[in-house]
Amino acid sequence: PTRRSSDLSTKLKLLGCDVASFGINQPPPEDTDVNEMVWNDPITGIYRKIIFNKAGTKVKGGILVGDAGDYTKLHKLAISGEELPENPAILLTPPSARTQEEEEEGPSMDANAQICSCNDVSRGTIAATIAELGVEGSDLATVKKCS
């Protein structure tokens, strides 16, 4: 059987500071299809490094420190490999520094949306477990045990 590699992306809050890592955040030196953008604001304590492909049309990964409010969006872009609909520099600005209000992205309805990277649990796995157990049998402890 083929072993699927784990997604090591994560988002944490350490001593009140958001820290996140997703996708390929340290590309190997032999990877020539790489461009990176860095935001380093020592006044607000925000650091962001986003790795793009050379053309700037796809997110490969990144590191977010101090403001990881758009982690879900960036992680999804990195994992899906989808083409960026906009100038990649727009993604570099942390949510707390943006002047215009962006429409907040709601929870993904995609069955493949990852809920827990540690145990490789997707939204679809949870939905299937709840459907299998029925509404009455699906308390949190039971669903956690089965998924």
pLDDT score for 143: 65
For residue 47, the cross-strand partners are: 40, 65
Cα–Cα distance between 64 and 22 in angstroms, integer? 9
Q: What is the pLDDT of residues 73-100, one digit of tens each?
A: 999 999 998 999 778 988 999 988 877 6
Strand-strand pairing, 46-52 and 35-41: antiparallel
104 or 11: which leads in pLDDT: 11
pLDDT score for 105: 57
One-letter identity of residue 69: G
114 or 129: which leads in pLDDT: 129
Q: What is the pLDDT of residues 12-66, one digit of tens each?
A: 888 888 999 999 989 999 999 999 999 999 999 999 999 999 999 999 999 999 9
pLDDT score for 137: 62
* Helix, strand, coil % over all residues of the chain, rounded to 5: 25, 25, 50
* Owner of token pair 């998924």: 147
pLDDT score for 124: 81
**Span 123-141, average pLDDT:** 74
Chain centre distance of CA 138: 28
Cα–Cα distance between 144 and 131 in angstroms, integer? 14
Cα–Cα distance between 84 and 118 in angstroms, integer? 27
Cα–Cα distance between 3 and 1 in angstroms, integer? 6
